[in-house]
Amino acid sequence: MSVTDSTIYSDLLQLAKSPGNAVVWSYDITVKVNGVAIKETESQEINAFYDFKTRYYSDMFLFIQVTVSDYQTLMANPQSITVEIVRTLTNPNTGVPGDVKQHYGTYLGYITDPEDTEIMALRHSGKDERAGDSSYMEIILNLIEPYIADYRLADIGGVYKNTTVENLLRCVMGYGLGTSANRVLLESPGYIGLKGVDVVTPDNQRVYQHIVIPNGTRIIHVPKYLQDHYGIYTGGLGWHIFNKICYIYPLLKNTEYAKRHKVLTIVNIPTDEIPTLEKTYTHKDDQLYIFSTGESKYVSVSEKVQLNIGNGFRFTRASDLIDLMEETTMNRSVWDAKLTVKTLLIHARPDERQNIRFVDGRITDNPYKHVSKLVAGLGGFLTVSWTSADPALLYPGMQTKIVYKARGRVQSRMGTLTSVRATTSTGSTKKDAGKSTSCELEIYVQQRPQMA
């Protein structure tokens, strides 16, 4: 049994049992059309899905009730809707908001599934049956931050000389960051642009004489283009804009926990030890600890990947084709498969059914993307619940340790945060009612060690 893991589990279990309040926020939501606020709205729920595996930006939806007349105004100006959200930490017992307000975000709002009430059968005998400010209807607004709306339309192209993929990513993915940007500007509440680019050091450290990006390439496609054509990480590629930071990271690399400054530890507590918790997270030594007591689910993809895609591959390096594919002695050249063919085994299967194939095309100087396809075969995906949560404390690709009790002892596995699904709601529809957030966290974790 790991003394460290056992101590962490014991200490945090006592901390979780100590008195504490649930995290409740009071939300002030202002919906504007052409800069003019519409009448009183009643916010009911905010849903967000942060997909750090396949999406570069989060899906966020605001559920609100508006008057029918205001709905008509929104429908008449679908591209002029903005939403400003300010939240205040609130005492969960008294419902009294605190003094510190936090600017949650300014967004462009787009009505999902809009209804054109003028053309639908909502009039009878010349009278609008849904008219009148006393009538409310629920709508859903898809929220997108303004800089994202511009970011996803921008494109680049050109020949970039004497550079690495890391330097190129820092330059290109910082689109919209002007040379005049400074800390005071970036941290001001009214700033609504990109704040910076965070790149985990790539496995590919080669300095290229030329990196060519075709003209007209969308910026949002650049990371994948570089991964596919030059290679960035062997642990899969993830990139996501979160809290105004563009994060670029190895998606499935779970060996960096001890090397990162800010990491996550999830204590998966059996419900019979602590059925419910008010305080579900804490900070300690600049680390975030989350207590999870709800249902968890684990799906292993190891066998699926290893048996269908492979657990190793072979290739010939393109850069070896001219000078390094044969041995020449006494004016005689001999081709040797040991020199011409490289073999990489990701994981040796105990049943000795090694699924090792040639990469597509057989010749490449980019093994990074091929290794990435097989890394998923080293683990699976764990989903845990987090109540009274604050997902703003997380970030894409966050290195994670799962501490749990199994077979009478405390154990741990390393992982990487791959997605967050958050629901912010309350039982009341009052505008000033406090709201709490519940999350489902998905973590890619290393596979269970083989039993001796």
Q: Where are the domains of the chain?
A: 24-116+135-146, 302-377
CA dist., res. 268 & res. 283, Å (int)? 17
pLDDT attached to residue 114? 75
pLDDT, mean of residues 254-280: 81
pLDDT, mean of residues 156-177: 94
Model pTM score: 0.85
pLDDT attached to residue 119? 59
pLDDT at 215 over 90: yes
pLDDT attached to residue 113? 80
Tell me: the pLDDT tens digits for 19-74? 566 678 888 889 999 999 987 667 778 999 999 999 999 999 999 888 888 888 89
Q: Let me know if 122 is exposed, middle or buried by CB neighbors in 10 A (0-12, 13-18, 19+).
A: middle
Give the other-Cβ count within 10 Å of 304's Cβ.
13
- Confidence class of residue 128 from pLDDT cuts 50, 70 and 90? very low
- Confidence class of residue 422 from pLDDT cuts 50, 70 and 90? very high
CA dist., res. 169 & res. 232, Å (int)? 10
